[in-house]
Amino acid sequence: GCWAHYWSPLCEPLRTDISTLTLRMSPLTNCSSLISRERSRKLISSSRKWKLHSVDQPQVVHLEDNEKLWTQCKVLLSSLNFTNEEADKMLKKAFGWAHSPYWGEERKKEVPNKHSIKEMLDYLKSLTLSDDDLHKLLKKFPEVLGCDIDQEVKSNVSTLEKDWGIKGKQLRNLLLRNPKVLGYNVDCKGDCMAQCTRCWVRF
């Protein structure tokens, strides 16, 4: 009647590691441990799902809570002959509320303010672009409204002038033809970084 003799058929052969010794000596305890781990795994999985939903929910509320700011930005765009619906779609593309191939999955949802939109529009106008030109540019590349005006837009205009000698009327023609050049912020130099929509290699 030794208990070790009773349990031995259910256990694996002896090994030198401590986990196997624990299994051999306490099979019931091991089963309880497995059940406990499984319960913990399910709780963690459930917690992760809840966190995902809890992150999504405030983003929607955030947009609704800032409806006044959103409307002010749409008014600025409507002055360039865009309908309310067109302005809404453009802002959503520019600030991560609608999918855009330009941003991929990287763009975080933001609510714009009229000051940043006005600053961008005023700067673009300073590049000898008329209101009609701006309408055409924004229709092709609304995402420019969500680009960093100093680090991307102004920097790229400076690069076009210094490295390529493109300015004035030539710059205007380029921007109407390929406005995405204002948002280029990657230069893979031929070694693709899978960010082609924002890469200078396209230029």
Please indicate, yes or no, if residue 55 is contained in any of the structural domains: no
* Separation CA 155–CA 128 (nearest Å): 17
What SS3 state is found at 155?
Answer: helix
Please indicate, yes or no, if residue 202 is contained in any of the structural domains: no
At 107 the pLDDT is: 84
> Tens of pLDDT along 115-153?
999 999 999 999 999 999 999 999 999 999 999 999 999
pTM greater than 0.85 (yes/no): no
Range of the domain at 38: 3-50
When pLDDT is cut at 50, 70 and 90, the band that residue 45 belongs to is very low
One domain, residues 37 and 73:
no
Please indicate, yes or no, if residue 197 is contained in any of the structural domains: no
Residue 126's alpha-carbon distances to 95, 113, 119, in angstroms, are 23, 20, 11
Per-chain mean pLDDT for the chain: 75
The identity of residue 31, as a single letter, is C
User: For the chain, what is the domain count?
Assistant: 2
Higher per-residue confidence, 114 vs 52: 114
What SS3 state is found at 186?
Answer: strand
One domain, residues 77 and 46:
no
Summarize the confidence of residues 40-50 as an average pLDDT.
42
What SS3 state is found at 199?
Answer: strand
One domain, residues 71 and 137:
yes
Backbone angles phi, psi at 199, to 5 degrees: -105, 140
